[in-house]
Amino acid sequence: MKLNRFIISAMAFFIIFAGCILSSDPSSGGDTDDPGYSVTGDTASVSSSMGLSAVLLDKNIKNINLKSGDYDGSYLVNNAVAISGESGVTINDLKINKTGSKISSLSATNVEVTENVGDGDCKIQNCFLTNLTINGGGSNSVEISGESKVTGNMNVNKKNVSVKMNSTIEIKSALITNACNLIQLDNTEISEPIIDNVNLNIISGDLGSQMNINIVSDNINVLKLPAATKMELSGKTSGLNVILNNQAAGEIPNIIIADTATVTDVVSIADTTVDIKITGTVSNKISALKTELITINPESVGGKTVEKATAESFSAERLLNFALAKFPKSILGANKFPVIYMDDYDQIVIPANVNSVTYPTSFSFMEKNFTIDWTSSNESVLSNSGAVKHSQTASFISYISLTAKISCETASVDKVFRTSVMPLVLTTTTTTYVSNPTTTTSTTYVSNSTTTTMTTVAPTTTTTVAPTTTTSTYVSNSTTSTTVEPTTTTTTTTTTTVEPTTTTSSTTTTTTIVGSANVYINLITPTDATIDFGAFDNMLNKTLSESVTITATLDEAESWEWYLNGDFISGEQNNNITITSATLSYGRYTLSVKAYKDSIPYSAFIEFDVHN
């Protein structure tokens, strides 16, 4: 037995050791003796995912040079640092938390300028991004230059931020949810758009708030624009399309086509009143499905007045643009697609209890038929056929892009959704029956209508239950091995013993079931559950022995549990906890809390770094 254990241990060691030698992928960490980075002065050269996480914690590092490879983690930029990459650098998720940061010459699936940047600034140069989210920045804020491209969505959610773009960049689509400014950096005359489609979905507006769009675009689609917010167009666009599918009742949008603006077509398909002031140039025509709902000031612009439009008067390309703005709410918001669709932000969330999705394949709009083909950026997480694979790491959310190719007649256009696939919820529960000293531990992964349960019972008892039943049956006889079907309550075993004197005696032993239970655990946090952690900058200085007290709030919560990196913290049963850096090693930590309200578990987590 000892020899077998030694052989198994030696084989395991060899496999691990061999894996470390062979691996050169940055995501794997490379050689175990190699920390994945080297430092010269204030500059770090990084070759692994772990190395990148490590140098981002060092406040003395000002420049980070990434070696070619995939960096598949999620990284926090908490210091003002310049990150540049060699050819072939790809980052999964990068969150910029500090003003003065710069990224250049790399590819990334998701980049977010977070609210921690405040009214500061950051620069993006020669980067190839799938999604860019701007939640922070000020008037001199986010600068995008060089040959940068955003192939999916650029979401701008920060009020009054200025996004300044060089004439050489390309952005597929921009969703604007707060009054901001989109400005071309240089004065180069260009004909190709900087942003193909700008979608204005302004969630709320303060009186006097104003936004300026001074770029070249194919289309500017007005989905929602509160009356308190003035939108001024001073650049060039092929189509100003007033759609207003999200407009509040009685809200008349305030739209201005300024002197310097040039618009090919102004079109309204809105079902509500539209008022447009025009001092710039409309080179083709002004039209509306309902002419009585649109007012232009002056009434004639270069001799042009409002014309009556019909579905037949629009090209397939123009109809596709309308459908692009209309279809998510009508299709994804109609519960035909088993996901959470965040309408305001054009994002999809796939909950932990969804194991597969059925993609909608068609819809009708303006008496035209449209088809939809779906493509996932990562089929190991979400396949093109709709199969979902959730991470089993509680705090790891898989971010992918889901592309809907919408076609009408011979024309087609792509719409890219940033998609978050939530991790499986893992819980362990122990139930002890007093009448029988048998303990059962069940570990359950919850997914859509599928529950996998591993059950361990005392070694003196063997219990088998058909997989379709939710009843576990426990046997009190410690000398009998019994298989119990769900419909069976008693098993009788007869033992016959023959004595040498040929006298036969018969003994009958009856095994009686003394305990059974139906157990259902609801692990799916309701969609309206929120736990507010309050303000915390996600950094603790170990040298200074910094500590922080974190208070979680959930109205009417009955009990609390805290976990650090997945390990239960004993003795912490209140809604607040103090974390002391002196007791922790350097690195990143995940602090999670579980609260119970009406016997339903709610959970949330935050990540923080311990640095020097």
Instruction: With beta carbons less than 8 A apart as the criterion, state whether 267 and 294 touch.
Output: no
Largest CA distance in the chain: 125
Per-residue pLDDT tens digits for 221-247: 998 898 888 899 999 999 999 988 767
Give residue 527's pLDDT band: very low, low, confident or very high (50, 70, 90). Answer: very low
Backbone phi, psi, residue 381, to 5°: -105, -50
CB crowding 237-258: b at 16 or more within 10 Å, else e: bbbbbbbbbbbeeebebbbbbb
Task: Please report, rounded to a whole number, the percentage of residues in the chain having pLDDT higher than 90.
Answer: 35
The region of weakest confidence among 272-276, 375-379, 395-399, 530-534 is 530-534
* Cis ω for the linkage preceding 526 (within 30 of 0): no
Instruction: With beta carbons less than 8 A apart as the criterion, state whether 84 and 66 touch.
Output: yes
Instruction: With beta carbons less than 8 A apart as the criterion, state whether 186 and 165 touch.
Output: no
Could you tell me the residue ranges of all domains in the chain?
71-321, 343-421, 428-493+509-517, 539-611
The pLDDT of 599-603, averaged and rounded, is 71
Give residue 583's pLDDT band: very low, low, confident or very high (50, 70, 90). Answer: confident
Instruction: With beta carbons less than 8 A apart as the criterion, state whether 64 and 38 touch.
Output: no
Which pTM was predicted?
0.63
- The residue with greater pLDDT, 429 or 215, is 215
Q: Where are the beta strands (DSSP E) in 194-270?
A: 195-201, 209-214, 216-224, 229-233, 236-242, 254-257, 262-268
For 53, the 3-state DSSP assignment is helix
Instruction: With beta carbons less than 8 A apart as the criterion, state whether 422 and 388 touch.
Output: no
Per-residue pLDDT tens digits for 163-211: 999 999 999 999 999 999 999 999 899 989 999 999 998 887 776 788 9
Question: Does position 494 have pLDDT exceeding 70, yes or no?
Answer: no
At residue 369, what is the residue type?
N
pLDDT value, residue 112: 94
For 322, the 3-state DSSP assignment is helix
Instruction: With beta carbons less than 8 A apart as the criterion, state whether 240 and 220 touch.
Output: yes
Question: Does position 305 have pLDDT exceeding 70, yes or no?
Answer: yes
Which residues 6+ apart lie within 8 Å of 87 measured at CB? 68, 105
Q: What is the spatial order of strands in the sheet that 281-288 belongs to?
A: 69-77, 89-96, 107-113, 128-134, 149-156, 170-176, 195-201, 216-224, 236-242, 262-268, 281-288, 306-308
For residue 379, what are the β-bridge partners? none
CA 344 from chain centre, in angstroms, equals 14
Residue appearing with tokens 């309902």: 290
Question: Does position 458 have pLDDT exceeding 90, yes or no?
Answer: no
The pLDDT of 31-39, averaged and rounded, is 77
pLDDT value, residue 240: 95
Instruction: With beta carbons less than 8 A apart as the criterion, state whether 555 and 529 touch.
Output: no
pLDDT value, residue 85: 96
Question: Does position 464 have pLDDT exceeding 60, yes or no?
Answer: no
Task: Report the alpha-carbon angle 335-341-344, nearest 5.
Answer: 130
Give residue 330's pLDDT band: very low, low, confident or very high (50, 70, 90). Answer: low
For residue 432, what are the β-bridge partners? 439
CA dihedral 585, 68, 538, 345 (to 10 degrees): -150
Q: What is d(CA 47, CA 35) in angstroms, rounded to the nearest whole number? A: 9
CATH 2.60.40.10 fits 539-611, yes or no: yes
Give residue 535's pLDDT band: very low, low, confident or very high (50, 70, 90). Answer: low
Q: Where are the beta strands (DSSP E) in 289-385?
A: 294-297, 306-308, 340-342, 347-350, 362-365, 368-376
Q: Which helix or strand (DSSP H or E) is residue 9 part of?
A: helix 2-22
C-alpha R_g of the chain: 31
- The residue with greater pLDDT, 233 or 466, is 233
For residue 297, what are the β-bridge partners? 277
Average pLDDT of the chain, as a whole number: 76
pLDDT value, residue 555: 79
Question: Does position 429 have pLDDT exceeding 50, yes or no?
Answer: no
pLDDT value, residue 259: 94
